[in-house]
Structure formats: C-alpha cells, structure tokens
Amino acid sequence: MKLRADQQGLRGLPMPLWLQGAVESLQAVLLSAVIAIVPIAAVWLTGGFGSLPVDQGARLAGQAWLLAHGVPLHLSGAGLSPAGGAAPSSSVLSLIPLGFTLVPFLLSWRAGRRLARASYADTLWQAILGAAGMYALAGFATAFVCSTPDVSASSGLGASVPLIPVVLGLVIGARREAGSWTRLIGVDAVDWIARTGQYSRWTGSYFWAVIRAGFVAAVAAFGLACALLALDLAIRWADVVTVYEALGAGGVGGGALTLAQLGYMPNLAVWTLGWSSGAGVVLGSGSTAGALTTAAGPLPPIPVLAAIPTSSVPLASAAVVLAVLAGVLGGWWFQRAGEDHLDEWLAIKIPARWFTATVSALVLGLLVGAVAGAMCAGAAWLAGGSAGVGRFTVLGPNPLLMLIWVGAEVAVGAVIGYALGPWLERGQLARTSAESVS
C-alpha cells in the first residue's frame, strides 16, 4: 500500500507498516461497529426504546460492541435485597455472544493476511503492533465514552480484552497467508527438531498427534451438539413461536431479537454439549438442566430458551453417547496418523503383546480424553457467564464438570476407536484392492 501524491500513477511515499496495520484495524473497528449500531438504530427508529435520547442509544450500541468483544459490563440500579425489599445493587453482565465475537476475529484474520503480503518476516511485528494499538485505542475510547451511571465498563478492560480475538485473528491470518511459521517469523522449526535426539522426536510426534486427536474429538463433539441443538429447535419450534407471539415485539423488534439470539447460538451449542454429556447446564442459581438429572426453575421469556428441556425427557440419557462417538473418531484418527510411538517402544521393551497393546490403548484414551475435556472446559468457560439480572448471575456449564464428563466419555470412545482402527483400515484396504482388481 502506498501513500500517493496524486492519482496519475506516480510513485509516492511508502506507507509505514505500523500505519498500514492501524488502517486495517480501523476498518475492522468500523465494520464490527456497524453490526452493533444497525439493529439498535432500527429498533430506536421504530420507537422500540420509547423516548430514549439519541446519545443514550449511541452509548447502548457502544456497550453492545464492548460486550461482543468480551468486555464485561457493570450494571448498577435498583435490585432486590435478600429480605425482598428494593435496594441498590450492582451486578456484572459477562455472558459473551460468541457469534458476534467471530466478527472481529474474521475481520482481523483478513487484515492479518493483507499485512503478511505487505511485510517481510522480520518486519511483520510492526504491522501487528500498529493494528493492535489502534484496536486498543478504539476499545479504550468506547469504554470511556459509553459508560453511564447505570452501565459502565472498565477502560483498561475495554483496551485489553478486545485484543484477544483481534490479535489471534491477525496471527492466524498472517500464518495462513505465509503458509508456514518459518516464512512468518523466520525460524526453521523443522531444522531445530532435526537436531534433537530420536527419542525426543518420537515423544514430540506422539504428543502432537495426541493433541490433534483430542482436537478432532472436541470438534466432533461440538458438531454433534450442534446437530442435537438443531433437532431440538425443530421439535420444539411451536414453543419458540409461542414465546415470540407473547412478546409482541413486532417485525423490527422481532428481527433484532432474532439477531441477538443468533449471536448466542455458539453459546447454546456448548450448553447443548454440557447437557448431553451429563455435566449439566446451570440456568440460574439453584437451577440445572441435564440429560441425566434436571432441576430447572422458570426461565426468562426469550424464545430460544423455550427449546431447553427443563424436565426429564424419555431416552435423554442416551445423549451421553455423543461424546463417546466423538472419542471413537479421535481414536480412529490417531490410528490413521501412524504416530503411535509409545506402543512401538513398549513392544520393543516387553514381548507380551496383549499387555503392551492394552497399556498403550489405555494411556492413549486418558491423554485424548484429557485434551478434549480441557478444550471443552475452555469452551464452557467462554460460553458461560452472568446475565446480571436477578438469579441469572450464573449461566452455562460448569467447566470442571465439563472437563470430567466429556473427558471420561471421550477417553472411552478413544480406546474403542483405537481398537477398531486396524479392523476398519483393513476393511477399507480390502475394498480398495477389490476395486482395483475389478
């Protein structure tokens, strides 16, 4: 990108990389702000907010922008005291709409690719630093300007928390454009690994394959949970429509409400995984829903929440098989990767094959289950939070229970997939040979 003195094709001054990064980041800020402003402006123009002044509507859009980037909002106002009377209270709104968080991430991913094309390996940091600085400045200014006595955000968190999805998107986009970490940062990792010992390379290859198998299992569990969520919405669609009709929000209000619910769809998918695995989903203080046990109280009138099973459902306990199936896929993938160096080492040291095969399968199941469970626990931590209203200050799956339940179920499935892998591969090879002969 060049700074030109005119539009006649004459060469001008080259744009500094930090400035180009700032420009790319500013584009991401403006585009993500549009998504927050447009629905709020539409509701305001149709009178959905009553006599709300323009400046307060603009601050509301800025607060929505901060929440979409993961910045918690502090709510202050009249609440209910433990004795039941009205009393000043404060709470935190920290339930992040992960669907909207993907917007700055994807915009930063695009910016990272563009900056990688304009930089060398040893100068890319300048572009990323400029982009991060611009985004931090935008977050700081938004938190400072949009804070009110009722809803406020920390300026420090407003400047730092949005950098998490932004910098992650910049780095992943730059890596995607460069094609390898070597071209991106100028360090040849392959050459460094080649200088290590054989056992070190085997150990590294084994654990790297385990991490990837755990990732495959976690993604498969999340995908199966998404399918279960879609099926549940289809079955309970009449209940969802009934809540829409009871709200009477109108066309614009209903559209804005639908858009807000779409922003929380990734959260609901993680909640579905917690529900199906047996870890359960906390729906407010003292209220839990799960495939094995359910003790749920009344829910707020949000249409999508009408699809949450709040009572015992026949055959609901069969949903725990989803995480097991995901583990089977992870174990099979590990078998196909061909990096089972632990089993090879045990076979060399101990001649009893029945013992070495059992030990390697159990160790693999524990490791893959731990990796997948940790990833799902991280997703549960991101997908949960506080709505800042009444008893709904605790929402989402418990990360520790998600780690235990999903980890255990994936571990069982990984052992099964690891054991069935050779038989499945043998059948596939037999079919391939038959087709080649014919």
* Segment 119-128, tens digit of pLDDT: 877 788 889 9
When pLDDT is cut at 50, 70 and 90, the band that residue 172 belongs to is: very high
The model's pLDDT over 85-117, given as tens digits with 9 standing for 90+, comes to 444 467 899 999 999 999 999 999 999 999 988
CA gap 404, 79 in Å, rounded: 36
Structure tokens at 2: 């060049």
- Identity at 24, one-letter amino acid code: E
- pLDDT of 369 > 80? The answer is yes
Q: How far apart are CA 81 and CA 174, in angstroms?
A: 51
Local structure of 79: helix, strand or coil: strand
Backbone angles phi, psi at 86, to 5 degrees: -75, 140
Does position 13 have pLDDT exceeding 60, yes or no?
no
Torsion region of 294: left, alpha or beta (phi above 0 gives left; psi -120 to 50 gives alpha): beta
Above 90 in pLDDT, residue 84?
A: no
Residue 385 DSSP class: B
Per-residue pLDDT of 283-325, as tens digits, reads: 888 788 888 877 777 788 888 888 887 666 666 778 889 999 9
Q: Which residues of 406-426 are buried (b: 16+ CB within 10 A; e: fewer)?
A: bbbbbbbbbbbbbbebeeeee
**pLDDT number for residue 2:** 42
For residue 273, pLDDT over 50 is answered with yes
Instruction: Name the nearest CA neighbour of 415 among 359, 375, 374.
Output: 359
Average pLDDT over residues 246-274: 88
What is residue 367's predicted lDDT score, i.e. its pLDDT? 95
Can you say whether residue 280 is alpha, beta or left, with left for phi > 0 and alpha for psi between -120 and 50 degrees? left
Cα–Cα distance for residue pair 36/57, rounded to 1 Å = 11
pLDDT at position 425, please? 67
Whether the CA torsion 151, 155, 161, 163 is positive or negative: it is: positive
Look at 11-20, 231-240, 372-381, 383-392 and tell me which has the smallest mean pLDDT: 11-20
Q: What element of type H or E holds 89?
A: strand 86-93
CA within 13 Å, CB half, 308: 31
Tell how far CA 171 is from the center of its chain: 17
Report the chain's mean pLDDT, rounded to a whole number: 84
**Residue with more model confidence, 190 or 301:** 301
Range with lowest mean pLDDT among 95-99, 194-198, 401-405 = 194-198
What is the mean predicted confidence (pLDDT) over 320-339? 91
390: left (phi over 0), alpha (psi -120 to 50) or beta: left
Q: What are the residues facing 79 on neighbouring strands? A: 87
